[in-house]
Structure 1
Amino acid sequence: MDFHGTGSSGKMSVESAANLWDSLMAKHKNAGTKLISPSMALQKDETMMQPFLDAVSVKPDCIGVHIFQNSIEGVKGVLDHYKTKYASYNCLWITEFAYANYQNGAHNYGNVGETDALAKQAVQLFENDDMVKAYFISDADNGDNGALTPSHNGKTLSSLGSTYKQAISSSSSKRSNHALRHVRRAAAASRRSATPEEQ
């Protein structure tokens, strides 16, 4: 809600976002659903989350986080921002993370070695942080090496998909179980969306 660009939901005011959230999410909260906040596209440079949290009457239970960085230091920087600023929630969901550098309008994606290495390091970081309750790699348009299956065909795992699956399979936490189901769903969704020629 804090950014307008390709693939985004569009920038909106805090008031509009809060009103929309309250109108859509109250019934779910009242039914006992745990709510995850919207994630901020501007990552650690965000300025909208706290005003949003102050404005909504239906409070989320956990803070959603997007992390698109091209180094583990960058990942840690985003994570540290949310851990410090929203410590009272004691709950972060990394709803998307990937190797990507969007600085200054660039879309710099890593090579196979870089994307694989970052995925492995990020999983270790998230698994060792008690405030991170769940994490999911982004299987969207994050460059040639950023898909979990080659060209999103769902037939086999890519190098990144295999690396990510191995990293999360080595842990028995609830977080990694969420992530593993996400890999399986992404592969199944890719198979469903493939054309007959691709299948």
Structure 2
Amino acid sequence: MERRLIVPVAIRFLLLIFLSISFLYLSGCSGCSRSGSHQPRRTRSNPADKAATAVNPSEPKPTLTQLGNGPTEVRMKKENGVYKVPVTVNGTSMQFILDTGASLISISSTEAEFMMKQGTITDDDIVGQSRFQDANGDISPGSIIRLKSVQIGDRILENVHASVVSGAKAPLLLGQSALSQFGKISLDYRRNIVTFD
């Protein structure tokens, strides 16, 4: 009789140990959220990637010109859950997703090829190669290019870097390489307006 009681107690003890180890592993997982879903971990940057994206000291620095006075208001358009703003890049009008989480302006290889055919981007504008990681953790190869002008409303940013990501479906992202140059930015979701002060 005593032997039959020992077996269930031993099984419960082993199950408790297993559950404790599983809980400790999951609570220490940096890619797990409270909801229990697992997101891929970010990969560590490769020193070779940093060297490829390093800015050449002789490269001209971005400069901002404002054609009008005071704050600049630009209308946003909500599309599929994201906000897009009209941006003119090297004279070509496009709709960019306003993305404060992106480090660079990002365009697809399709857009870059179109601009090369139009002559608004040349081989001289390619400043390096790199790999880019998206929000899902996927890594794509790409190029770093210099854009001669990026105009939003009455503000023109010249000599700014952008990434060209391989893939026709890569979205157009207006990232920090441009947004940080504009200073204070405020969003009015009721009026669908972004204001650059």
**Considering only CA atoms, is the larger Rg found in Structure 1 or Structure 2?**
2
Instruction: Compare the two structures and name the one with the higher strand fraction.
Output: 2
